[in-house]
Amino acid sequence: MRKRNLLTAVLTGIGIGIPVALICMICIGGWNPIVMEFLVWTIASALFGVLSAVTFSNDKMNLVLATALHCIGCLLITVGACAIIGYADNFFEILVAIAPVFAIVYVAIYSVSFISMKINAKKANEALSKK
């Protein structure tokens, strides 16, 4: 099995398995804090996916703007999820706790994306100059 097919199978399994698991948890154990937390993070994950599709498929936005909007959107979704679940007493407390993590992750993702794009552009330019 190719790696891409394996990844597709894993993601399909997660996409089907999570709602089924959530329904089973509710049917077996009823509504409780664990089910609520699982549901909140499932919805947050879906919102992360929608945000990714909207920001990174927009050809009118450059990578810096798309990455910044995606980061801010994901940060707000995460802060909202944490607030709903009750991880802290207020939004500011949550924001202070997770903002540094977001900053590190997004700097790393942007840096890797930027370097990758530069390498691909260099290869494309070399291939064009050979013709």
| Tokens, residue 55 | 């920001």
| pLDDT, position 80 | 93
Encode pLDDT of 100-116 as tens digits. 999 999 999 888 988 99
Model confidence band, residue 79 (pLDDT cutoffs 50, 70, 90): very high
> What is the mean predicted confidence (pLDDT) over 69-96?
92
| Tokens, residue 129 | 């100059």
Which pTM was predicted? 0.77
| Tokens, residue 72 | 């801010």
Encode pLDDT of 20-77 as tens digits. 999 998 899 888 898 999 999 999 999 999 999 999 888 888 888 988 899 999 999 9
Instruction: Yes or no: say if 54 and 66 are a contact pair by the CB < 8 Å rule.
Output: no
* 3-state DSSP of the chain: CCHHHHHHHHHHHHHHHHHHHHHHHHHHHCCCHHHHHHHHHHHHHHHHHHHHHHHHCCCCCCHHHHHHHHHHHHHHHHHHHHHHHCCCCCHHHHHHHHHHHHHHHHHHHHHHHHHHHHHHHHHHHHHHHHC
What span, in angstroms and rounded, lies between the C-alpha atoms of 24 and 37?
15
| pLDDT, position 59 | 85
| pLDDT, position 6 | 87
| pLDDT, position 1 | 67
Phi/psi for 24 (5° steps) reads -65, -40
Instruction: Yes or no: say if 61 and 69 are a contact pair by the CB < 8 Å rule.
Output: yes
